[in-house]
Every structure is written in structure tokens, then in C-alpha cells.
């Protein structure tokens, strides 16, 4: 059945299905094409008549993951990879799932997808909002934002302002989507005064960064940051070096703005991947391990997000932050060369991933894991350290920073393990997504199945909805979930829901004093 709704820009016709309504491919800003490439998002033009909102819009330009049929691991992951959705620079769309078009003023949950700031979209199959809408009686919004060189390349400095890109255009897209939610979500049965942003990986990192962004102030009221926090940003001088390298690859000068605007989407996508450090190779210390990521430009992002949080900028915004227990096992499983890693290779890998001296940290992890009866092979240690360096420790630092300000923060550790390839992936990066959305049944080989898997999915959804509604994730399914305090109370989400005090605390203490920018990197 068709469903009609009036927005500030015009009427939309969506789908009315069993117990929920959906509106897809809804534009929230003008198409950032032609002369608007690399500019902040601009207001869209209203339309006459009724706009079709039954189908997803184009996704941002990106390189799809393609499974290698000759590699058992890649072939297995191919069952959960992306599909060939239409791509275009005209990609600033969002999707809305709601129980009813009424004055219900339901909690609103806005999903920011991950993908390393160079891939992903709000229309990915795992992000189906119907379960949240039906089970939680909430309004769900999933968004697209510009990626790679179109969303996170600072050209303002190198072109003397002729191209005003700060390297935060992707973040500004997220802000524009939240402004759309503020102005329109009441028409979809949502409450614009009770908006929770949530996301995983680069989406979680975006959430942690938006906590500090002046342009996002007041547009959301709660945050759930999954496998990402407030650290994945880069200083301006590194962003300038990235821009210089980008021009070098294309043989362009800083004065050739016409040449930059003439670059094709495909050329830019290939360049972004060419600039990424290759597995086993060291990152360029002048650019870091993730060349395309948000930039501390002094305007859109005035300073490091965690510094802003420490000074109270995010006060009054409850936060859930956490990680999976074995994030890095996804990355290492895709590298057969690591299966024979020795201690010498371990130190080399760690030095490649970030310019630091990891010897002391390795010994802390080796001793702590041995005392708990856990594996201490070189690969075990690599996975544990990289999991913490990139994902868990930034989440811990965010929750501790909020705790020290007396602000409500809740910590979790996702411990469920994937059964795929006899458990090769463990509790790896991205495994939590299917349980968050109740879409785990789409990939039972990866996520697992059965009553325990269903219970985990129900518990995560109930806790996320309870938090969106009240700012407290405690609920009947997972039980009491205390705020992160001096005992470092952490909810373990797995076969059971259990509060553990100070999990993996010896490893956490190895990073005491914070994590310098040159240590935090990207795999």
C-alpha cells in the first residue's frame, strides 16, 4: 500500500507494509555535483506534486568488495559483502522507517553507516529498520554521506580557498541529515527533541566526532558509538600532505581547479585505495594509516574531539561506547601471510601500523593473556593489541572522559563469536551489526543462528531502544546496566548478558595517559 507524508520540501509517497511504513531515497540536501562538488551541503529545492519514496537512492561512489573465489576466507566473506547498488555523486539521501504517521513523538534513532570513510551506505541490507520500528516503537533513519576524496579531502589550504573543501564535507552531510530530521521527523511520528545517533566503525567514529562539532550542537541528544569513538581524526598538516599526494597521483597542480573538478568518480575511488597503506607495509608517517578521514581544520572541527569532550562540550548527552572482543580478527583473517607470524614479524607489523615502539605493550599483553589461559602466539598478540589500539581503547577513553566529568556513559564488550570457518573470525569487527539490527538471520554462517543468537539480537535491540527512550540501556532483556564508574563496569554482550568490572584491565592500563595521535591509526 502507498503512504503519503508532507515534508518541508514537498510530499513523499512511501510504502505501507506489515506493521510499519518506509520512505526511501529521501533527499536531504541539494545534489553535491558539478560546481557543488567539495562544497558544504546546500539546501535542496522544493518539488511540486508527489515524489516517489519507495526505492533507495544512489549510494556514494565507492569500490565494492569483491570476493576472491580461490581464497576460502574471502569467498566465505563474499556472502556478506556489498552488492552492485547504483552509485552517483548525487547521493545525499536518507531512509525513514516508522510505526505510524501520527503525533506519537517517538524516539528517533539515526544510523550513520561505517566503511572506513571510503565505503558504505544507509541502504545496505543489514540496516533494515523495520525490526527497530516494530519491536521498539521508534522512528529509524539511515543516511548516506559523501565518502573518500569527495567527503574527506582537504583542498582548501592547497588551493588557497579556490576549492573550499575542509576535509569534513562528509561530516557536514551528516549534520545536514540531522537538520532534516529536526525539521521533518515530527511528520513521521518522531520526536525531534529525542534523537539518538548511532553507528559502527567509521559510523561510530563519526558519532564520537559529532559530539564535538559546533555545527551539530543541539541536533541530537544521545549517542551509541559501536567500534569507534572520538579519535579517528587527523591534524591539518597531515590533511594537507594527503591533498598534495592526491594531486601528485593525478598529475595536477594546485592551480588547476578545472582539472580537479573534471576528475571522474572512478579515478578518485582508485586513488583513495592507491593511497591506503598495503597490508604489511608501513603507513606514510606524514599522512597516517587512513588518508581520508575527518580533519581538525580549525573551523568545522576546531580541535580534537576528545579534548572538547574533556572540557564539557558534550555534557548532558548520554553515551554508550564499546567494541567487539576481537575486532582485528576480521582483518588478520584476510591475510594468509599472518598465519605463520613470529615475534619478529609481530613487532614489524605493529611498527608498520603506527610509528611507535610496541615492545613494552607486547610484553604486557603476553603476560596478561598467559595468566588468563588465553593464546599468546604472535598472531594472538597482534589481534589483541590492534583491537585495542584502534577500537577498544578509544571507546574506553571516551567513557572515562565522560565519567570523570560526572556524565552518564555506558560501556560494553561484544563477546559473541562467529561460527564461520570453524571460528576463524571470533568476535570480530562488524559481527555486532546483524544483532544490532535484528538482521543476523540474513547471514547465519557468519552471525550464527538459534535461540541464543536470537536472544542476543533481542537484547541488543531492547537495550538500544531503552537508551534511545530514556538515556539508560537497562531493560528486562539484558537486566540492569550500570553507568561506567570507578570500577569500570562493562556490559558483556554474548551468550549471556553479564556485567564485568574492569575487563582486560591490565591491557587497558598499558595505555594509561591516553593514546597519542601517532599511535591511533587505521588498519
Give the CATH number for residue 260.
Answer: 3.40.50.1820
Split at pLDDT 50, 70, 90, the class of 290 is confident
11, β-bridge pairs: 6, 50
Query: Are the C-beta atoms of residues 467 and 222 closer than 8 Å to each other?
Result: yes
Among residues 509, 508, 37, which one has the least CA distance to residue 258? 37
d(CA 330, CA 336): 12
Helix axes 236-250, 265-275, angle to 10 degrees: 120
Same domain? 279 vs 408: no
Q: pLDDT tens digits for 70-83?
A: 667 766 665 444 45
According to DSSP H, which parts of 137-291 are helical? 148-151, 169-184, 202-210, 236-250, 257-262, 265-275
What are the backbone angles phi and psi of residue 252, rounded to the nearest 5°? -110, 150
Among residues 77, 117, 97, which one has the least CA distance to residue 18? 97
pLDDT of residue 522: 44
Of the candidates 326, 429, 440, 474, the residue annotated as catalytic is 429
Q: Among 283, 317, 351, which residue terminates a domain?
A: 317
Q: Poorest-confidence range of 84-98, 114-128, 277-291?
A: 277-291
Same domain? 257 vs 342: no
pLDDT of residue 302: 97
pLDDT at 266 over 60: yes
d(CA 398, CA 243): 29
Helix axes 343-353, 378-387, angle to 10 degrees: 20
d(CA 522, CA 389): 9
d(CA 287, CA 252): 19
pLDDT at 171 over 90: yes
What are the backbone angles phi and psi of residue 194, rounded to the nearest 5°? -145, 75
Query: Are the C-beta atoms of residues 145 and 110 closer than 8 Å to each other?
Result: no
Query: Does residue 39 carry a catalytic annotation?
Result: no
Of the candidates 121, 201, 206, 332, the residue annotated as catalytic is 201
pLDDT at 283 over 80: no
Same domain? 294 vs 327: no
Residue 160: enclosing H or E segment and its boundaries? Answer: none
**Other Cβ atoms within 10 Å of 342 Cβ, number:** 11
Query: What are the CA-CA distances from residue 480 to residues 325, 403, 421 (Å)?
Result: 21, 18, 35
Phi-psi group of 496: left, alpha or beta (phi > 0 → left; psi -120 to 50 → alpha; rest → beta): beta
pLDDT at 303 over 90: yes
- Asked if residue 234 is part of any domain, the answer here is yes
Q: Among 317, 333, 362, which residue terminates a domain?
A: 317
pLDDT of residue 18: 86
pLDDT of residue 85: 83
Count of domains for the chain: 2
Residues 6+ apart with CB under 8 A from 217: none
Q: pLDDT tens digits for 208-227?
A: 999 999 999 999 999 999 99
pLDDT of residue 273: 77
59, β-bridge pairs: 87
d(CA 399, CA 318): 10
Of the candidates 157, 169, 200, 327, the residue annotated as catalytic is 327
Copy the grid coordinates of residue 315: 555534557
pLDDT of residue 67: 57
d(CA 500, CA 491): 6
Split at pLDDT 50, 70, 90, the class of 518 is very low
- Asked if residue 177 is part of any domain, the answer here is yes
Query: Are the C-beta atoms of residues 154 and 243 closer than 8 Å to each other?
Result: yes
Query: Are the C-beta atoms of residues 430 and 418 closer than 8 Å to each other?
Result: no
Q: Among 296, 317, 338, which residue terminates a domain?
A: 317
Q: What is the dihedral of CA 307, 40, 219, 460, to 10 degrees?
A: -80
Query: Are the C-beta atoms of residues 148 and 117 closer than 8 Å to each other?
Result: yes
Same domain? 386 vs 504: yes
Same domain? 428 vs 446: yes
Query: Does residue 327 carry a catalytic annotation?
Result: yes
Query: Does residue 201 carry a catalytic annotation?
Result: yes
- Pairing of β 11-17 and β 20-27: antiparallel
Same domain? 227 vs 87: yes
Q: What is the average pLDDT across 6-35?
A: 96
- Asked if residue 340 is part of any domain, the answer here is yes
Q: What is the average pLDDT across 377-397?
A: 96
Residues 6+ apart with CB under 8 A from 220: 110, 178, 195, 196, 197, 210, 317
Q: pLDDT tens digits for 361-370?
A: 999 999 999 9
- Asked if residue 333 is part of any domain, the answer here is yes
pLDDT of residue 523: 35
SS3 198: strand
pLDDT at 45 over 70: yes
- Asked if residue 200 is part of any domain, the answer here is yes
- Asked if residue 518 is part of any domain, the answer here is no
d(CA 280, CA 337): 9
Same domain? 310 vs 344: no
DSSP 269-308: HHHHHHHSPPTTSPPPTTT-S-SSS-EE-SSSS-S-HHHH
Same domain? 361 vs 406: yes
Query: Are the C-beta atoms of residues 5 and 50 closer than 8 Å to each other?
Result: no
- Asked if residue 517 is part of any domain, the answer here is no
pLDDT of residue 274: 78
- Asked if residue 522 is part of any domain, the answer here is no
Same domain? 384 vs 435: yes
Same domain? 313 vs 331: no
- Pairing of β 139-143 and β 93-98: antiparallel
pLDDT at 64 over 50: yes
Percent of the chain with pLDDT over 70: 91
pLDDT at 287 over 90: no
Q: What is the average pLDDT across 460-474?
A: 98
Q: pLDDT tens digits for 33-43?
A: 999 999 999 99
SS3 326: coil
pTM above 0.75, yes or no: yes
Q: pLDDT tens digits for 401-451?
A: 999 999 999 999 999 999 999 999 999 999 999 999 999 999 999 999 999
Query: What are the CA-CA distances from residue 280 to residues 253, 283, 518 (Å)?
Result: 31, 9, 18
> How high is the mean pLDDT of the chain?
92
pLDDT of residue 351: 86
Same domain? 331 vs 413: yes
Same domain? 163 vs 212: yes
Q: Which domain holds residue 49?
A: 2-317
- On the CB side of 40, how many CA atoms lie within 13 Å of its CA? 9
Amino acid at each position: 500500500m502507498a503512504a503519503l507524508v508532507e515534508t518541508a520540501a514537498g510530499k513523499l509517497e512511501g510504502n505501507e507494509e506489515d506493521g510499519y511504513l518506509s520512505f526511501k531515497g529521501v533527499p536531504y540536501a541539494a545534489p553535491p555535483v558539478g560546481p557543488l562538488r567539495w562544497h558544504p551541503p546546500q539546501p535542496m529545492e522544493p518539488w511540486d506534486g508527489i515524489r516517489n519514496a519507495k526505492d533507495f537512492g544512489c549510494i556514494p561512489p565507492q569500490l565494492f568488495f569483491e570476493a576472491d573465489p580461490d581464497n576460502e576466507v574471502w569467498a566465505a566473506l563474499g556472502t556478506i559483502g556489498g552488492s552492485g547498488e547504483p552509485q552517483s555523486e548525487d547521493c545525499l539521501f536518507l531512509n525513514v522507517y516508522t510505526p505510524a504517521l501520527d503525533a506519537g513523538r517517538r524516539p528517533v534513532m539515526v544510523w550513520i553507516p561505517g566503511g572506513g570513510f571510503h565505503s558504505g551506505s544507509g541502504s545496505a541490507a543489514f540496516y533494515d529498520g523495520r525490526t527497530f520500528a516494530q519491536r521498539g516503537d521508534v522512528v529509524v533513519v539511515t543516511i548516506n554521506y559523501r565518502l573518500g576524496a569527495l567527503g574527506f579531502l582537504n583542498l582548501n589550504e592547497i588551493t588557497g580557498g579556490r576549492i573550499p573543501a575542509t576535509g569534513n564535507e562528509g561530516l557536514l552531510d551528516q549534520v545536514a541529515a540531522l537538520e532534516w530530521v529536526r525539521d521533518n521527523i515530527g511528520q513521521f511520528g518522531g520526536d525531534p527533541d529525542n534523537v539518538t545517533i548511532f553507528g559502527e566503525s567509521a559510523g561510530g567514529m563519526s558519532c564520537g566526532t559529532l559530539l564535538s562539532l559546533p555545527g551539530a550542537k543541539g541536533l541530537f541528544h544521545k549517542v551509541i558509538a559501536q567500534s569507534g569513538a572520538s579519535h579517528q581524526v587527523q591534524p591539518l598538516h597531515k590533511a594537507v600532505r594527503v591533498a598534495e599526494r592526491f594531486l601528485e597521483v593525478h598529475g595536477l597542480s594546485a592551480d588547476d581547479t578545472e582539472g580537479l573538478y573534471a576528475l571522474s568518480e572512478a579515478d578518485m575511488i582508485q586513488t583513495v585505495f592507491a593511497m591506503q597503506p598495503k597490508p604489511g607495509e608501513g603507513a606514510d608517517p606524514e599522512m597516517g594509516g587512513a588518508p581520508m578521514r575527518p580533519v581538525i581544520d580549525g573551523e568545522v572541527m576546531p580541535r580534537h574531539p576528545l579534548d572538547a569532550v574533556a572540557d564539557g562540550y558534550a555534557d548532558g548527552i548520554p553515551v554508550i561506547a564499546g567494541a567487539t572482543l576481537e575486532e582485528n580478527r576480521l582483518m588478520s583473517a584476510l591475510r594468509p601471510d599472518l598465519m605463520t607470524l613470529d615475534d619478529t614479524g609481530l613487532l614489524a607489523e605493529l611498527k608498520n601500523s603506527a610509528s611507535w615502539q610496541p615492545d613494552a605493550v607486547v610484553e604486557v599483553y603476553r603476560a596478561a593473556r598467559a595468566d588468563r589461559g588465553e593464546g599468546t602466539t604472535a598472531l594472538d598478540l597482534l589481534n589483541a593489541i590492534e583491537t585495542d589500539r584502534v577500537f577498544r581503547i578509544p571507546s574506553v577513553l571516551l567513557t572515562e572522559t565522560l565519567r570523570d566529568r560526572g556524565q552518564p556513559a555506558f560501556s560494553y564488550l561484544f563477546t559473541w563469536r562467529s561460527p564461520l570457518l570453524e571460528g576463524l573470525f571470533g568476535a570480530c569487527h562488524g559481527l555486532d551489526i546483524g544483532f544490532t539490527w535484528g538482521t543476523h538471520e540474513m547471514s547465519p554462517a557468519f552471525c550464527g543462528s538459534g535461540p541464543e543468537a536470537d536472544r542476543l539480537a533481542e537484547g541488543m535491540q531492547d537495550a538500544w531502544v531503552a537508551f534511545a527512550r530514556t538515556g539508560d540501556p537497562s531493560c528486562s532483556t539484558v537486566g540492569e546496566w550500570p553507568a561506567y564508574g570507578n570500577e569500570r563496569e562493562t556490559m558483556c554482550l554474548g551468550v549471556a548478558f553479564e556485567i564485568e568490572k574492569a575487563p582486560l584491565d591490565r591491557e587497558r592500563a598499558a595505555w594509561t595517559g591516553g593514546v597519542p595521535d601517532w599511535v591511533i591509526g587505521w588498519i
